[in-house]
Structures are given as C-alpha cells and as structure tokens.
Chains A and B, each alone.
Chain A
Amino acid sequence: LAKMSGGGSTLLGYIGIDTIIEQMRKKTMKAGFDFNIMVVGNSGLGKSTLVNTLFKSQVSRRSAGWARDEKIPKTIEIKAVSHVLEEGGVKMKLTVVDTPGFGDQINNDNCWEPISKYINEQYEKFLKEEVNITRKKRIPDTRVHCCIYFITPTGHSLRSLDIEFMKRLSHSVNIIPVIAKSDTMTIEERLEFKQRVRKELEMGGIEVYPQKEFDEDMEDKSDNDKIREAMPFAVVGSDKEYQVNGKRVLGRKTAWGIVEVENPNHCEFAQLRDFLIRSHLQDLKEVTHNIHYETYRAKRLNENGGLHPITCNDTQESNL
C-alpha cells in the first residue's frame, strides 16, 4: 500500500513505483560498468598475485607477458591492463594499474609523483569529456577508483615512504592499505603491527578509505567503523590450489602446513574481498566521482580562468 505526504489522501492500491529499482537494474546489467584499481608497493610484495586472487582471473600485468625475472625498472612506470569479466549477467571492465618501480630505487624521493600525475590525468580526461559540447552518453571512466597500498610486513611500523605516499595521495584517491605477505607474522605479531599502523595513520592525519568524513548516516558509520577497526587487512595471495580436508583451496604450501588464502583464521583475504567487491564496490566509485573528482574539478575551474568547451576538443596535454 502506498503512503503519501504533502497534500493528498490515500486511496487504496498499488501504484508500482518500486519497480523503478528493477528498471534501473536492467539498465545497469545491460550497460555493464568500469572498475579501475591501482596497486602500489615495492616489488615482490605479491601485488599481482593478490589482484589475480581477488578477481579469480589472470588480470594483472604479470599475465600480460611480464617475466618474473625482468629487471626492476629505473623509473616508475604506470602500466594499465584491462579485462572484461562477467558474473551473474553483470559485465565488468576491470582495469588494473600497476606501478612497477615504486620504492625500489636507492633514492625514492618523489617516487609518488608519476602516480599522482597519472591519477590527475584521468580526472582531466573525464573533465574534458564532461565539458564538451557533444558529450558521450556514457563517459568512459578511467579514473582510479581504489588504490591498494602494500605495506611491507616488517612487524615494526610504517616506513617513511609509506607515510609520505599515503599522506600525499589520500586526498586525491581512495587508499586501502593492506599488509602484504602476512604469513610471515604470527597472529599476535599481526595484531600488534596493525594497531601500530593504525596509530601512525591517525597521528599523521591520514584518512584512508572508508573516510570518516564521508559516512552518510548512522548505518554507514556503524558498518564503516567495524571495517576501520579491522584495517589494514593482513593478506596472503596465491594462484595455486591444494587439497585440504577434501576441498580444493587456494593456498601456499610450506613444510609446516598449508596457508589457506580464504580461511579467515589464517588471513584476512576474505574480509578484504568482501569489503572491496561485495559491499563497497559501488561506494568506492561514488566517493571517487562525488568527492575526489569534484575536488579536482573545482580546483581546475578556479585556475587558468576556467575551461572553454570548444578548445577542449583539441588534444591538449594537461599542464599538471
């Protein structure tokens, strides 16, 4: 039965406005959607493996012809690889942006700059499309929706590079820190490490995703508080399967046992996956679009006297 307010009495019956949800769903399914994820961290922390494990497909740079023994690049490169995945009738164009060379040099000063530049270039691309006279119906979205930052499992604290990077980029992209290769720590060590990391983030004034200031209501806040208290997630990635208790599971086999990736008692991979994909995927995109992108756009419109729609048709390099 319909309820009404604002100048009307109710006459019994069913109008059918709830069906608009289904109409929207149909369109979303038909259109498919884009998701762009960036991984940042030192070589060898298992970035590619983790992404492959998350999406249960060979989606990372490694699979696109990268040899394991290739030399560490002299400068940071930004490599984006896209795949179309389909599940339950929903098509997703997943783009994984890898950043080989980050933090691997002797002098890592400003190694975050190419990354920052890449992120801003995607915002600029989107802005130009938006400002165009004839706009595409669906502007192709290459903006980075989520940046997973891999923390080295030293067991002590965050390194200066970690803090520098997250401080500088948390205002232009959603950062989700994870503790990589966490099977090097015992459960107690892991708990202590996580607490220390959280404290350092707080002291540095670094707001990682989900940011407290963007909680929309009490429900969001309580959901997100639980996640914030569990972060950073300690993960293990693997693309190999083993037999455990009669089931095939993804894991790492050692002499002392098998680390099961999806076992919540072993590591927090499952939690990360549920958080990232099953509950907050849409929110990551929305925060990127409504907040980070808007911040960029406002800044851009205030400088250089604004944007002229016609000149945006030219292929101008952004001067960022």
Chain B
Amino acid sequence: MDAIMLQEKLVERLLCPRVRTARQKEKQYVGFATLPNQVHRKSVKKGFDFTLMVAGESGMGKSTLVNSLFLTDLYKDRKLLNAEGLILHHLRSPSCHHHLSAASPCDPPPSPSALLCRCCAERIHQTVEIIKHTVDIEEKGVKLKLTIVDTPGFGDAVNNNECWKPITDYIDQQFEQYFRDESGLNRKNIQDNRVHCCLYFIPPFGHGLRPVDVEFMKALHEKVNIIPLIAKADCLTPNEIKKLKDRIREEIDKFGIKVYQFPECDSDEDEEFKQLDKELKECTPFAVIGSNTVVEARGQRVRGRLYPWGIVEVENQSHCDFVKLRNMLIRSHMHDLKDVTCDVHYENYRAQCIQEMTSKLAQDNRVDSPVPILPLSTPDVETEKLIKMKDEELKRMQEMLNKMQQQMHDKDQ
C-alpha cells in the first residue's frame, strides 16, 4: 500500500468510534451508550471555536498556508491590513494629531519598509503587531468560529531583540482574561480567546534553527502548543528536506524546546495504526507549501504552484507534508490541542498567577485578615477611565476602517 493510501486509512481509523467488545455479559440495553450522541448534539448546536496563531518572518507564506488549510481567502483585503497598521501608529504616536486620510483604492500597497505616515511623514517603526481575523465556517452542520492571530512584523526589523514579547504578552493577556472571567460571579457567557496552537514558520534557506527561532520557541513553549513548520519547502529537494528535518529535530532536543507532542497511541491499537502514527511523528517538522491559486495538473484542478520545470501540488503527499499537517491539525488533533491548552498551559499560568497574588499579599502583610481572592478585584477607577477612552478611540478608528472597506467593496461591484 502506498503512503497516500496508508495516510487515508489512518484518518479513517481516527474517525471511526472504537467499540470495545470486551466481556459483554448477557445484559439488556439500558441506553446510556447514547450519551456521546447527546453531548454531540449540544456541541453541534453550540458550535466550536479554535484560535490559531501564525508566527514567522514576512514572506514565509503564512497567509497563503492559512488560506490553503481553511480554504479561505482571509487575506484578500491585504491593502487594508496596512491601513490598520497606520491606524495603530496613530494611536501610539502622541505627536501626530492629524486625521487619518483615507487610502485611495488605486494606491499600491506600501511595502513594509517604506511605511510612512501620510500626514506627518514620520517613519512608522517596525513593531510586531497582533492582528486577529475571525471567520465562521460551517461544514456538514458543524460550526467553527476560527480565529487566526497574525503577527506581522515578527523578525523583520534590524534589531529583533525580544521581538516575541508582544506575542507572549498577547497570549498572557488571553489567559488573564479567561482567569478573571472564570473566577468571576457570572460565568454564563465566557469568551474563550486563548490561543490553542501556534504554527511557527522556519525558513528553508538556512541550515537549521537560527538564534531567533530558538529564542522564540523557548519563550513560548510553556504558554502555547508550538508546531514548527519548514516554510516554502518547494525550494528544497527531498534529500535537503530530510537533512534539514533531522537537523532541526536534533536542535529542538538539544535546546530543550518543548514543541507540541502528538499523544501516544492507545496500547490496544493494532500494529498498522501504530506504524502509521510512528511515521507521522518522524515526519516532523512538517515541510509545507501553500497556494492561493488553482492550476491544472494531471487532468485535475488542484491548488498548486506553476513553475517552468513542473507543477507543485499542495495536496500531493509526495510533494510536501501539507496534507499531513492538515489532517493532524484539523481532523485528528484539534480537540487535543484545545485540551492541552486548557489543562496544561492555562493551568500553569493560573497556578503561577495565584502564587504571585498570594506572595504579593504576604509582602503587604495582609495575610492575616481574610482576603477575598475570588472574585478578582476590578482595576481602579483611573485605569478604568483610561481604558474607556482608548476603547472609544479604537472604536472610532474601527468605524473609519469599516467605511473604507465598504467603499472598496462598492468600488468592486
């Protein structure tokens, strides 16, 4: 059986409910075996959510890969992305008081290095932004609210010291928000914005992990599930890919980086399944290729990249590991990624948070009097006012952005 068929079988295996036919006494049917269906029915009604972060330098094909994975065109409005960057600049630089002039749709998108503010012509410093895109996807009756957290600017500046800090701050903020919500009085509609998985794009051009790769992953491996990927793998031959993968795996071990581990197979799975699972694990880090275009290859229309010397097919398993990544990420491990985030990363954050709070109180010598830890106290009035002001400013900017988006849309019609 070739690799593709084996892979399909693996997916099928993972999808079939395993029925244990152990010592079945001559018992009549009570009916609680329907419980998973009852749970299923509620989940289908409620829908699921999943937050995926992508990190890596510009030009690694992050957006293209996300589009390929979820069959979307999330980044269609790329122009406006830069406008949003401008908006964030205005919020930050106190000296620029001019109103943001709307970008004309005919203007070519400014290149990242030449980002100048239109009104004050001040160079916008390259910082790492955190931009969220949310998309509702429905398939076979199952609703998924997918949030992609993009990190443009990461590693793009000359001096990239601690360029991961905005990212770790963002992740911590989501944990903190969840912690507050969970400890509050009214827990009815908690929004879970915690990051369930971070795809980290390693450039294929080097000889392994670079210092920035190592530092980034070490800063994040205890906060989020990291899945390292070799980006733009179509510039490497199969041998080069193998060497690079081996090298990266070695270095991950050497530096003690804890990337996301696929859970062990059950001991009662059969040999074929275990073998498949082993092969999958040995294939990491996945070497991926993404594409926004559809090409004609072998008589079919597929996602791919057209070169003079041939056509690279994204979903062809002998060309790259895209299918393996997609199957792992979506079809077999999405739920586990969420579980590990909740049970491990979040719990670690929470435990740490509580320790800090209690040690701070011990310092303040207030440990004798009964101190209410839960529900958590709200920030003081001054901070509240400031937050409210900034919120309103952001809202105004967002409205302007929406108007521009609408203008673009109308223009296209």
Contacts and interface: CB of A to CB of B under 8 A. Distances in A.
Interface in B329-348: 330-336, 339, 343, 347
Contact of B374 (A27, A89, A131): A131
A204 interface: no
Contacts of B106: none
Interface in A190-208: none
A307 B18 CA distance: 42
A19 B330 contact: yes
Contacts of A19: 14-15, 330-332, 334
Interface string B119-139: 000000000000001111111
A279 B38 contact: yes
B157 interface: no
Contact of B372 (A89, A137, A217, A305): A305
Nearest to B29: A87
B351 interface: yes
B371 interface: yes
Nearest to B302: A13
A171 B141 CA distance: 35
Nearest to B72: A8
B18 A26 contact: yes
A128 B69 CA distance: 42
B211 interface: no
Contact of B31 (A24, A273, A298, A307): A273
Contact of A307 (B69, B333, B350, B373): B373
B375 A301 contact: yes
Interface stretch (B39-47, B242-250, B390-398): B39-47
Given A20-B48, A281-B35, A26 B17 contact: yes
Interface stretch (B73-81, B97-105, B168-176, B274-282): B73-81
A185 interface: no
Contact of A298 (B22, B38, B185, B343): B185
Contacts of B1: none
A3 interface: yes
A58 to B, nearest CB: 12
Contact of B72 (A11, A20, A21, A25): A11
A158 interface: no
A57 B25 CA distance: 11
Contact of A3 (B15, B31, B138, B334): B138
Contact of A277 (B30, B45, B133, B350): B30
B386 interface: no
A17 B38 contact: no
Given A85-B30, A89-B17, A3 B373 contact: no
Interface residues of B, number: 76
Chain B CB within 10 Å — which of A7, A134, A137, A286 has the most?
Answer: A7
A282 B35 CA distance: 7
Interface in A263-315: 273-274, 277-283, 286, 290, 294, 298, 301-302, 304-310
B36 interface: yes
B354 interface: yes
A225 B135 CA distance: 36
Contacts of B72: 4, 8-11
Contact of B32 (A20, A85, A135, A217): A85
A286 B372 contact: no
Contact of A33 (B27, B31, B35, B350): B35
Nearest to A279: B38
Nearest to A248: B28
A298 B30 CA distance: 36
Contact of A305 (B30, B44, B137, B370): B370
Contact of B73 (A9, A22, A131): A9
A133 interface: yes
Q: Determine the interface band of chain A, counting residues with CB < 8 A from chain B.
A: 35 or more
A16 B48 CA distance: 13
A217 B15 CA distance: 30
Contact of B373 (A137, A280, A308): A308
B140 A18 contact: yes
Contacts of A310: 358
Given A87-B29, A89-B20, A137 B135 contact: no
A15 interface: yes
Given A7-B77, A8-B74, A89 B137 contact: no
Contacts of A133: 350-351, 354-355
A11 B36 contact: no
Contact of B30 (A25, A54, A294, A302): A54
A304 B33 contact: no
A282 B74 contact: no
Interface string A122-160: 000000000101110100000000000000000000000
Contacts of A216: 45
B146 to A, nearest CB: 8
A66 interface: no
Given A28-B39, A305-B370, A306-B374, A16 B34 contact: no
Given A19-B15, A89-B20, A301-B374, A57 B35 contact: no
Given A4-B137, A90-B35, A133-B354, A24 B374 contact: no
B17 A8 contact: no
A205 B40 CA distance: 33
| Pairs A-B, 4 closest by C-beta atoms | A88-B33, A306-B372, A282-B38, A23-B335
Interface of A: 1-30, 33, 35, 54-57, 85-90, 92, 131, 133-135, 137, 216-217, 273-274, 277-283, 286, 290, 294, 298, 301-302, 304-310
Given A19-B14, A277-B32, 7 more contacts: A7-B133, A10-B72, A11-B71, A12-B71, A19-B332, A23-B334, A306-B374
27 contacts: A2-B139, A3-B139, A8-B72, A8-B76, A8-B135, A15-B326, A17-B330, A18-B139, A20-B334, A22-B17, A23-B14, A85-B32, A87-B27, A87-B33, A89-B19, A133-B350, A135-B347, A217-B45, A277-B32, A278-B31, A281-B35, A282-B38, A294-B187, A294-B188, A305-B370, A306-B373, A309-B358
